[in-house]
Structure 1
Amino acid sequence: MRQLEEYRRQLEEEIKWVEEEMKRIDEEIERLKKELEKPESQQPMQAYPWPAYPPTPQPPMPAYGYGYGYGYGWGRGRGMGRGFGRGMGPGFMPAPAAMPQQPIPPPQPGVKRIVASVEENNGLNSRISPRFGRCPFLAFVDIGDGEVKAVNIIPNQAASMPTGAGMAVAQMVIASGASEVIGSNFGPNVSMAFQQAGLKVNTVEPFIPLGEALKKLGLIR
């Protein structure tokens, strides 16, 4: 019974507010009518041409091309306010997805691919990044017979994603044919995704050179 009384009181307040709004609208209509009846309002309005605005520039799509060690290449050319009911809250806006990445060619037979999160594009001297999903670059290192056969470093397109950057990078790494990953910090979901895909997760201290990390892990001589 108490809840019904409270609901009734809320409805009465809403009705009172609506009545006040209708009264205010009627007063505004009367005011506009009086304005239109004034002599100066009968004068024709002077027409002005629309200004010519330049077209909105569109940001160019980035295109990256990278030569590969074996001769093949990678590339990639508030609410509604008060009303008769409760106001509607802000709607859900989906997070923008990262730009599509073309599939990375798989490693050559007999070659192991390692992917590391790095801070810059400086070959084996690139430093390991303290982040994984939002690292600036990803280094794809192909190793055979204890030696580096190829190093390719590409920008991390998922770094600017508001959410899900780690999983987006994990999917790309898995699809590239990598067998191991190197980083200094992996989230639990990312680590689980790698383990389920059969990839070995290697954790090293941040900001050490990529080549040093490979040697410490026994991946190269």
Structure 2
Amino acid sequence: ANAPDAVLHTDAVQATCWQDLREISKLVDVLSVSAHKFGGPKGMGITVQRLGLEIDPLIVGGGQERDRRSGTHNVAGIMATAAALRATDTTRDAEVARVTKLRDALVDGVMSQLDDVVETVPRDKRVAGIAHICIAGCESESVLYLLDEAMICASAASACASGAMEPSHVLTAMGVDKKHSMGALRMSLGHTTTEGEIDRAISALVGVVRQLRRNKVKA
């Protein structure tokens, strides 16, 4: 990253709620975040650019936003983004602790009632708001369908590959066998998540997996 003429950009969209961007921004040339990830309006973003670094603008014209993006300022969006970022910065430590507790309760609740379930990432390496497990004996697509009927939102992949149904090449590279990776499940938590919702998600997921495993045995 420190090679001559190398520019390091970091997509920090997922980090804002969980890490102090002041520390991250010191290590990179350009950093970008999206407001909707920390409670701000959709369509708004922030770019942090190292002093002295020149980047050609994608939109030219009036020279707004320091010649980086021309066009009329979205003042309401800017103010809302700033307010959301300020609130996130103020409550981050408490929210990380609260959501981490809920996330671990979700995973523990599922694993205490179902066998052959593996945690994908060590707990001290996880983002607080993401629970990822792999369940043997059922396929992600079937689990998601039945969870959707129970009004539980989940995914079998990252948000940017939400339609993917093949075993994840990332899980394969991490050493997760196909028996488990075919049942990969990703669940997200946030500032609105409650203990009651965690209990309901555990109950729904355990019931879904048991149903699918029974059906598989009968078949």
TM bucket by the smaller chain? under 0.3
Which has a greater percent of helix?
A: 2
Q: How high is the TM-score relative to the length of structure 2?
A: 0.23
State the TM-score, normalized to the length of structure 1. 0.23
Counting strand residues as a fraction of each chain, which structure ranks higher? Answer: 1
Radius of gyration: which is bigger? 1
